Amino acid sequence: VMHGFPGTDTVVEEDGHIGHGAVLHGCRIRRNALVGMNAVIMDNAIVGESSIVAASAFVKAGMEIPPRVLVAGMPAKVIRELSDEEIRWKGEGTATYQDLTRRCLATLVETDPLVEVEPDRKRIHMPDVVPLVALRKKEE
């Protein structure tokens, strides 16, 4: 959800990535930042470039999150700096969603609802795209 008071802006800059169920209220999400699922970013808060707000975090009004950090909690606090590998992972995830958007716009056609799943149903396979938890296990 993107919302704000009249006369204010809610801005997501280039390559900003907003998770499912997140609420952005009168805030600014800087370039290449990620807001996790169900996170809430309140009025006049700024999420710094290439930062990650953890799922379900609550970023208080007016908080300024520095670039390249992970924040989590209720209220959100800086947990640590992000590695180059984590920022690369975030960028690849955003690029995957952007590619999916382009493919959908180019190929979607109106259809009738399925009554059953086809036995040869095509699936998207992206073996190089993994959740952050899997990336962490690879690093161990």
Q: Which helix (H) or strand (E) holds 139?
A: helix 132-139
Q: Which amino acid is at 111?
A: T
The whole-number pLDDT of residue 129 equals 78
- For the chain, 140 residues long, give each residue's pLDDT as a single digit of tens: 999 888 889 999 999 999 999 999 999 999 999 999 999 999 999 999 999 999 999 999 999 999 999 999 999 999 999 999 999 999 999 999 999 999 999 999 998 888 888 888 887 777 777 787 887 777 77
d(CA 116, CA 121): 11
Strands 69-73, 40-41: pairing is unpaired
Please give the CATH number for the structural domain made up of 2-81. Answer: 2.160.10.10
> What are the structural domain ranges in the chain?
2-81, 84-109+123-139
The whole-number pLDDT of residue 63 equals 98
User: For the sheet containing 34-35, what is the strand order?
Assistant: 17-18, 34-35, 52-53, 69-73, 76-81
